[in-house]
Amino acid sequence: MVEQLQEADYALLALYFVVVMAVGLWSTFRPGRDNAAGYFLAGKSMHWIPIGASIFASNVGAPMFIGLAGTAAASGFAVVIYEWHGVFLCVALGWLFVPVYVASGAFTLPEYLKKRFGGKRLRIYLSIMALVIYILTRITTELYSGAIFLRQLLGWNVYLSIIVILAVTGLYTVVGGLAAVMYTDTLQTVILLLGSSILTVIGFVEIGGWNAMMTKYGQAATNYTLANRSFYACGLPREDFDHIFRDPVTSDIPWPGIVFGATTLGLYFFCSDQLMVQRCLAAKSLGHAKAGALMAGTLKILPFFLFMIPGMISRILFPDDVACADPDKCEQVCGNRAGCTNIAYPLFVLRKLPTGLRGLMLAALLAALMSSLTSIFNSSSTMFTMDIWRKFRRHARQGELMIVGRVSVLVQIGFSILWIPVMEASQGGQMWSYIQAVASYSYPPWCMIFLFAIFWKRTTEQGAFYGLMAGLVTGVARMIVDFVNPAPTCGSQEEDTRPPVLKKVHFLHFAIIVAVVTTIVTLVISLMTKPRPPEKLRRVTWWTRHDPDEPEVSDSEEEIEDDEVEEVPKMPMTNDKYLEELNHPGITPKKTVRRKVYNWVCGISDKPHPKLTDEERKAVRDKMTSLEENPHMKRILDISAFVVAIGTVFLVAFFA
């Protein structure tokens, strides 16, 4: 059923888009946008509040509204551990990982691996794999989530909805760079928290409070499920829905997988993923990076109350839709024979919120969608441009890098759209389970390699590379088997003929296996190969981050230097007069309207950048790599991180 918005809803939506576009486009006029540091790292000038808001908003995304709420509607509390894991991992990001990344002076994490291990293959391999992972787990799910909401709202085709979403999202991201992303993320975090808080309160009022929810959820199923419990057993709520730690063998989220497997996923996602780390690298100081990470970690406590609880309430209110157990009926309700729990959150919004608030919540969902997409686009374009393109175009001008970064986004979008049908059919139609399954097959090798890189100086490039190869083969083999052999849909009479590696080994348990394989291979080969000399490990490990000297670089490992000398981009042959004026000192060239628009969109400046002296270059690098902290602020941050961690431990223990 298509739900309808009223005039007040459209008015709020229009106001939201005007404000977001204004903030995003305003940020495009900030200085430094016409060079790589300004575009990709916001000029290393960001305050802790936009950093924390951007990490949170980038992590939340539309899959939280759709996937996290949908899995809570299907399964109960256990999925919250993915969020509360994030509290500890955000602290680890700020306190353990970021100091090493900052000290190394790397723009991107593939560049960090290049500095840590030398060689080229690790850097290029991580860049390519990260782009593939973004397509499989991030861009695809974000686009699909937004399309689900617009389908419920307007009855639009999934792909038409995606085109609209991309048109709205792409402009200020492609034009503005990281600064535009982080400023708009700050605004959108406020909208997210406000809108979802209102929905949670309305939900509790609707069903009669916490105790009523706990009682009613246990019976939230369709009439035909309740009438034939044996046949439609998969359509009933789980008996352990109110537990986080569940049976290690028979449950949907086994506790060993949560404790060990999910930790490897989280360590990669929060501490080694360009999407998260890039925000901290944009901080004006290490203190601001820590404070931003801690702010994001604190906010990670909230999704349980703001997304999961509304998802469970939606199942109580609309069991015939959300809890459908018959494939034919599910297809009528949401167009997906595998199940309809993904529509729990948008259905609640569209059917229960009053006029005006529906528009606010649609704005909140679009805010989540846009903030995540913009962050993904910026981070992926950074890696492709700085770690892949510059390997083929070693002396590419700044203008070329700006254009390549933008074009790479369009290519990723195309592949993501093609992957959507595969994602729809995977993991019983539960988007969150699909995301975590793909992550379980691809994240653990990278998690282990970054841990080795930072905390074990003896790790060699050969050990890291072949460890990754072993982990990749192990994970991809399971992923292929998973996609080729989907589980039978709920309510169908199909026999489960999947291989035992799928039926009996949960994907979180398989993440542990992948991590162990990677660890063993890395350890053995590192001990069998020549260690990297100490002079090449300066400022690239936890133990050497404070070394005063730069790491020694051999001729084969020299980085491409950006000397800030920018040649004037060539214009088409029809604009020879423009070039002629540029060649005469003292004459200010006249720019055509077309030229001004081209420069603004592509982030190009016609003014040559002055060449920096060695002293000026050293001063810039010292700022980029400084680990200096205010002692008073450091003490406050350490105490705050401890308090937040203890509070999260209490919550996990209470619901365990």
> Residue 113 pLDDT > 70, yes or no?
yes
* pLDDT at site 521: 97
- CB 297 within 8 Å of CB 122: no
Which is nearest to 429 in space by CA: 325, 357, 518, 582?
A: 325
**H/E segment holding residue 288:** helix 286-299
Q: Residue 46 carries which DSSP code?
A: B
User: What is the Cα–Cα distance from 624 to 35, expressed in whole angstroms?
Assistant: 15
Q: Residue 346 to residues 157, 207, 427: CA-CA distances in angstroms?
A: 16, 18, 20
What would the pLDDT profile of 332-374 be if each residue is shown by its tens digit?
Answer: 877 777 777 888 888 888 888 777 777 777 776 776 676 667 6
User: What is the Cα–Cα distance from 633 to 307, expressed in whole angstroms?
Assistant: 33
Helix (H, G, I), strand (E, B) or coil at 254: strand
User: What is the Cα–Cα distance from 54 to 616, expressed in whole angstroms?
Assistant: 31
Model's pTM, two decimal places?
Answer: 0.78
Is the backbone of residue 571 left (phi > 0), alpha (psi -120 to 50) or beta?
Answer: beta
User: What is the Cα–Cα distance from 229 to 476, expressed in whole angstroms?
Assistant: 37
**H/E segment holding residue 165:** helix 158-176
Task: Identify the weakest region by mean pLDDT among 178-182, 211-215, 517-521.
Answer: 178-182
> Residue 588 pLDDT > 60, yes or no?
no
User: What is the Cα–Cα distance from 402 to 380, expressed in whole angstroms?
Assistant: 13
**H/E segment holding residue 204:** helix 178-207
User: What is the Cα–Cα distance from 444 to 30, expressed in whole angstroms?
Assistant: 38
**CB neighbours (10 Å) of residue 535?**
12
> Residue 587 pLDDT > 50, yes or no?
no
Task: Identify the weakest region by mean pLDDT among 193-202, 240-249, 283-292, 402-411.
Answer: 402-411
- CB 105 within 8 Å of CB 625: yes
- CB 245 within 8 Å of CB 255: yes
> Residue 470 pLDDT > 90, yes or no?
yes
The CATH number assigned to the domain with range 7-423 reads 1.20.1730.10
At 379, list the tokens: 């981070």
First-residue to last-residue Cα distance in the chain: 38
Task: Identify which has the larger pLDDT, 100 or 71.
Answer: 100
User: What is the Cα–Cα distance from 165 to 352, expressed in whole angstroms?
Assistant: 24
* pLDDT at site 152: 66
Helix (H, G, I), strand (E, B) or coil at 246: strand
Helix (H, G, I), strand (E, B) or coil at 73: helix
Q: CATH 1.20.1730.10 in the chain: give the residue spans.
A: 7-423
% the chain with pLDDT above 90: 19
At 493, list the tokens: 């009479």
Task: Identify the weakest region by mean pLDDT among 508-512, 555-559, 573-577.
Answer: 573-577
User: What is the Cα–Cα distance from 559 to 278, expressed in whole angstroms?
Assistant: 20
What would the pLDDT profile of 428-465 be if each residue is shown by its tens digit?
Answer: 445 667 777 888 888 899 999 999 999 999 999 999 99
- CB 54 within 8 Å of CB 293: no
- Indicate the residue type of 249: V
Q: What is the mean pLDDT of the chain?
A: 76
Helix (H, G, I), strand (E, B) or coil at 564: coil
- Indicate the residue type of 375: S
Which is nearest to 417 in space by CA: 654, 163, 87?
A: 163
| Beta strand segments in 298-398, E | none
